[in-house]
Amino acid sequence: MTLRKLQIALWAAVALVLIGTAGFMLGARNEEPVAAATFQPSFALADAAGRERTDEEFRGKYLLVFFGFTNCPDVCPTTLAEVAQVMDGLGEDAAQVQPLFISIDPERDRQMGLSEFTEAFHPSILGLAGTADETRAAAESFKIFYERQEAEASPDGYSMSHSSALYLIGPEGHWIRQYSYGTPASEILADLQTRL
């Protein structure tokens, strides 16, 4: 075998390995089911009337979920105001989207009134406030964070820090994406409209 032929053979081998690797990677990607790439959050929490609501009853609808507390003067009203704009903007498609406000300060929020708060922004927003354990379980299943912070300069001596994004859950109950805090309502609306 001449040196020239050996060179060609080696390059051919390299090419085969590259094609094989690429094929293997593409194949692997195709085999991966979409569902495995995401997760299915779950919750069982009381609404303002004390009725237990679960993720399962909303199958077939998109869920727009925000975790917050009604004593929050800045981030929560701002986000709920955006949700209200999105719901108005959806028009007839609004029936396919259920906005949820899940309280991470459920005891105080139940005392203060959950529905009057959510309804002040939009009648379609459903407020949920479970027990401490149920709230913890819901937050874990959504993979979100919240924490009580002792703060002298806050009502009742504490405030809550919390994940501030809006979460979109699909009609089959799978987590689709989050809209980080401050995403303009127009962007959320446009994104939802491509899905409905």
Partner 1 sequence: MKRLAIILALLIAAPPAIACETFTTGDITVEQVWSRASIGTQRPGVLYMMIRNEGAADDALISISTPIAEKPMLHETTVEDGIASMPHAMRVPVPAGQTVELRPGGYHGMLMGLTEALEEGASFPVTLTLEEAGDLTVLAEVLSMRAEAPECDAAQ
**Binding region for partner 1 (CB under 8 A):** 70-75, 77-78, 81-82, 84-85, 112-113, 116-117, 120-121, 145, 149, 151, 153-155, 159, 161-165, 178, 180-182
Q: Which is nearer to partner 1, 150 or 172 (CB)?
A: 150
Residue 103 burial (C-beta neighbours within 10 Å; 0-12, 13-18, 19+): buried
| Pairing label, strands 126-128, 97-103 | parallel
Reading the block at residue 124, the tokens are 């379609």
Nearer to partner 1, 28 or 153 (CB): 153
Tokens of 111: 């005392």
Pick between residue 20 and residue 113 the one whose CB is nearest to partner 1: 113
Dihedral of the alpha carbons of 126, 130, 136, 139, in degrees to the nearest 10: -10
Q: How far is the CB of 182 from partner 1 (least distance, A)?
A: 6
Q: How far is the CB of 142 from partner 1 (least distance, A)?
A: 12
Output the smallest distance, CB 154 to partner 1, in A.
Answer: 8
The radius of gyration of the chain from alpha carbons, rounded to an integer in Å, stands at 24
The least distance separating partner 1 from the CB of residue 161, rounded to whole angstroms, comes to: 3
Can you tell me whether residue 51 is helix, strand or coil? coil
The H or E element that residue 110 is part of is helix 106-112
Nearer CB in complex with partner 1: 44/71? 71
By C-beta, is 33 or 157 nearer to partner 1?
A: 157
Q: Closest separation between CB of residue 196 and partner 1, Å?
A: 23
User: 59 is written with which tokens?
Assistant: 């199958």
